[in-house]
Amino acid sequence: MIEINGAFGEGGGQILRTTLTLSLLNQVPVKIKNIRAKRSKPGLMRQHLACVKAAQTISQATVSGAELHSTELIFKPQPVKGGTYCFDIGSAGSTTLVFQTIMLPLMLAQKSSHITFKGGTHNPLAPPLTDIKHGFLPLIKKMGGKVDIETQQWGYAPFGGGEWIAKIHPSTLNPLTLTKKGVLIQSRIRSYISCVKHSIAQREIDTYRERSKVNIDVSESRNPPALSAGNLLTHRLKYEHYETCFSQLGQKRMPAEKIAERLAHDVNQHLESGSTLSPFLADQILLPILVAGKGEYTTSEITQHTETNINTIFEITGKKFDYWPESNLFKIKMG
């Protein structure tokens, strides 16, 4: 059985999720030790259990150690089955992390899947569902992945209460080469507000327009249904070769201007580097490229998350991602 040291590198929940996904994809039993050893509350928390349970549900895996505070987990999967599933995780973390854990295995299953997610959709410590929809999924679709999502209700941290559906169909992923952006076709900013004053959206848009170093074609606000109050500011960029999305979550007691400034900072840095993918996407796209067998892209920064993920992938599959700096950016390549 493959043993993974959960304390390696970033030492958090991502090692667990990547390991679960790879265990399902390669159909290998795994044992993870020292789970979240570097965190103040080590071991499995509710949000991690939610991922373990989802992975177990789609594969009928035999699991031991799936308990709160457990620092060791053994996961022995069976073939993944597509179908109708519902994962209600309440306020335990984000449903997007559960989605990312099981998306690729379900894509390789023989049957289509219809999955209902209930719980958090917009958490500060997970990719917001909006980013998944406008940043991550366009890349997957570009690679040939057949997946669509439908959002019914947003669920902001810390309560969750969101609801959305993912439809995943059997697909074959093709290699991705994304080293050039091409011409910028469209640039649009959008402020999503739920149960907060409309003026907040306007202030965010106004500030963002001042700070942005790129032309903005459309700026608008939206009022998605949500369980509780919340706000998200996004900037979607459509290039000749692909499209991507940056976002910043509103926080209690943080002025709208600050939210806009933060987002502008991230986007400007990305634009200056000339890279194709944000550091977040650079990390998230590793596993799809592994499945496709080949890929190459650029990013502005190799985060510890990315490094740890590359290492976990190598430990379990023996496949290696190389990365090196090139002028203002980093190039990441496999195969």
98 binds other proteins (CB under 8 A): no
Residues that contact other proteins, how many (by CB under 8 A): 25
| Rounded distance between C-alpha atoms, residue 96 and residue 191, angstroms | 20
Residue 88 lies near other proteins (rule: CB under 8 A):
yes
User: What whole-number distance in Å separates Cα of residue 233 and Cα of residue 243?
Assistant: 17
Contact code string over 190-219 relative to other proteins, x by CB under 8 A: ----xx------------------------
Q: How far is the CB of 68 from other proteins (least distance, A)?
A: 6
Distance CA 309, CA 15 (A): 7
Please spell the DSSP secondary structure of 20-51, one letter per residue. HHHHHHHT--EEEESTTTTSSS-S--HHHHHH
Q: What string of DSSP letters covers 264-321? A: HHHHHHHHHHT-SB-HHHHHHTHHHHHHHT-EEEEES---HHHHHHHHHHHHHH----
Least separation in angstroms between residue 90's CB and other proteins is 5
C-beta of 238: minimal distance to other proteins in Å? 33
Confirm or reject binding of residue 118 to other proteins (CB under 8 A): yes
Stretch that binds other proteins, among 87-95, 231-239, 257-265, 307-315 (CB under 8 A): 87-95
Nearer to other proteins, 49 or 200 (CB): 49
CB 171 within 8 A of CB 144: yes
Using alpha carbons, list the distances in angstroms from residue 291 to 105, 206, 281: 10, 42, 16
Active site residues: 305
Which residue of 54, 58, 89, 277 would you call a contact of other proteins, by CB under 8 A? 89
> Rule CB under 8 A: is residue 228 a binding residue for other proteins?
yes
- Give φ, ψ of 63 to 5 degrees: -130, 140
Map the footprint of other proteins across residues 152-191, applying CB under 8 A. Answer: 158-161
67 burial type by CB count under 10 A (0-12 exposed, 13-18 middle, 19+ buried):
exposed
- In angstroms, the CA 86 to CA 89 distance is 10
Q: Smaller CB distance to other proteins: residue 85 or 159?
A: 159
- Quick note: the x/- pattern for other proteins over 38-77, rule CB under 8 A, is ---x---xxx-x------------------xx--------
Q: Which residues bind other proteins (CB under 8 A)?
A: 41, 45-47, 49, 68-69, 88-93, 118, 158-161, 194-195, 226-229, 252
